[in-house]
């Protein structure tokens, strides 16, 4: 394994496949608006990052705090959990879904619960929604998960089980727990299981619509380059569905993974779903996935211009660079920037051009998490997250 791997995708297209998905819409956002504490997260202009990447502008969508949790994942987890519970146990209702409408629709919650496998953020989101609905939750995590992440999930009232294996092993174990009273809410799909993962992708669309709204309201440049970090590919697929929708002159897209768990790049090179066996030791815990989601792989295969695999050192460099801008980003949250730094510093002229990194470009990054492992954050950045966060003026 090298510390940087770059793959230019000759199969990229301006319109991603739509099979398996309804048309993108703001329906999930309507439900998110009903959740306690909903507000759009900030978009920041970061001229220091633009200088470092050699581009005109960098916009960072900051998901370090979303609905009281340190990650965007609650957007997918909430929409998927609510639609899954309503479909399995609920009566027909009119109007948008909400916690209140679903809870009143399902009646008794005795003995019922939600199950999810996670590297941290998705599972905590599922546990939070389960508690809102009065349901139990069982969250499975792979061996080696940071204790801080386990404690955070448990704080939502979940039972946390550590699986002796990788994230993919935890996924398999979660599937075995499904029965009439225990619904699996996963962000990855497998044969015969796609409804909840589809809803996760749809739920993430809220953050991209929020970006559109900020750009329109403030006259900001539209992105020429969109960097999306990826594990199984659900978040990246949501972004690709949004930006590769057939519009003229779509932005260039860069998908970033840990070099030690680059299952999407491996699949692109092989021309089909490919397993990258563990162990996956990267500190980018939320991206340590060995197999792409079957549901979203066609979207990734058609919508990604450049795949980049990076060592932890690039994510850590990006964490420090974002901290210098007053933005708290965890290891996975900073990975998108880490991939672009790797391209800018290690890519060939052809690779940089293919990614759209030129002096006139506007780059969009999404900081997908805050400091979910506070001790590692302080080790990497050199100061605690509380000393980094500043009162930035968002757009």
C-beta separation of 86 from 102 below 8 A: yes
DSSP 318: H
Residue 251, number of CB atoms within 10 A of its CB = 21
Point out the catalytic residue in the list 61, 73, 312, 373.
Answer: 73
Active site residue 350: no
Helix (H, G, I), strand (E, B) or coil at 130: helix
Residue 35, number of CB atoms within 10 A of its CB = 19
C-beta separation of 82 from 74 below 8 A: no
Residues recorded for the chain? 395
Helix (H, G, I), strand (E, B) or coil at 16: coil
Secondary element (H or E) of residue 6: strand 4-8
Strands 4-8, 252-258: pairing is: unpaired
Active site residue 51: no
| CA distance between the termini of the chain | 40
Point out the catalytic residue in the list 62, 119, 168, 312.
Answer: 119
Tokens of 376: 């590692």
User: What does the alpha-carbon distance between residue 232 and residue 70 come to, in Å, rounded to a whole number?
Assistant: 20
Strands 43-45, 57-62: pairing is: antiparallel
Beta strand spans in 285-385 (E): 306-310, 362-367
Catalytically active residues, by annotation: 73, 119
């Amino acid at each position: 394994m090298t510390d940087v791997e770059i793959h230019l995708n000759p199969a990229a297209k301006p319109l991603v496949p739509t099979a398996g998905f309804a048309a993108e819409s703001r329906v999930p956002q309507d439900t998110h608006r009903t959740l306690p504490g909903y507000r759009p997260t900030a978009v920041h202009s970061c001229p220091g990052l633009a200088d470092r990447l050699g581009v005109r502008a960098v916009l960072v969508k900051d998901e370090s705090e979303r609905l009281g949790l340190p990650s965007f994942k609650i957007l997918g987890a909430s929409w998927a959990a609510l639609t899954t519970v309503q479909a399995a146990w609920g009566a027909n209702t009119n109007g948008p879904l909400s916690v209140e409408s679903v809870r009143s629709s399902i009646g008794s919650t005795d003995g019922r619960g939600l199950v999810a496998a996670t590297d941290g953020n998705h599972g905590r989101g599922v546990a939070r929604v389960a508690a809102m609905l009065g349901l139990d939750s069982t969250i499975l995590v792979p061996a080696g998960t940071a204790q801080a992440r386990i404690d955070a999930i448990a704080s939502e009232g979940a039972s946390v089980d550590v699986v002796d294996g990788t994230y993919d092993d935890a996924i398999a174990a979660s599937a075995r727990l499904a029965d009439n009273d225990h619904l699996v809410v996963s962000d990855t799909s497998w044969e015969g299981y796609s409804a909840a993962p589809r809803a996760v992708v749809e739920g993430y669309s809220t953050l991209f619509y929020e970006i559109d709204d900020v750009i329109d309201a403030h006259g900001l440049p539209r992105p020429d380059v969109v960097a999306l970090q990826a594990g199984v590919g659900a978040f990246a697929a949501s972004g690709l569905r949004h930006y590769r929708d057939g519009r003229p002159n779509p932005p260039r897209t860069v998908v970033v993974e840990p070099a030690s768990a680059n299952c999407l790049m491996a699949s692109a090179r092989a021309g089909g779903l490919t397993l990258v066996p563990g162990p996956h030791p990267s500190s980018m815990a939320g991206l340590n996935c060995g197999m792409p989601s079957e549901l979203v792989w066609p979207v990734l295969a058609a919508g990604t211009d450049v795949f980049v695999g990076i060592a932890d050192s690039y994510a850590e460099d990006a964490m420090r660079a974002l901290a210098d801008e007053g933005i708290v980003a965890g290891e996975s949250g900073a990975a998108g920037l880490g991939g672009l730094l790797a391209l800018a510093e290690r890519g060939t002229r052809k690779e940089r051009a293919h990614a759209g990194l030129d002096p006139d470009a506007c780059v969009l990054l999404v900081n997908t998490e805050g400091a979910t492992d506070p001790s590692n954050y302080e080790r990497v950045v050199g100061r605690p997250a509380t000393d980094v966060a500043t009162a930035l003026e968002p757009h």
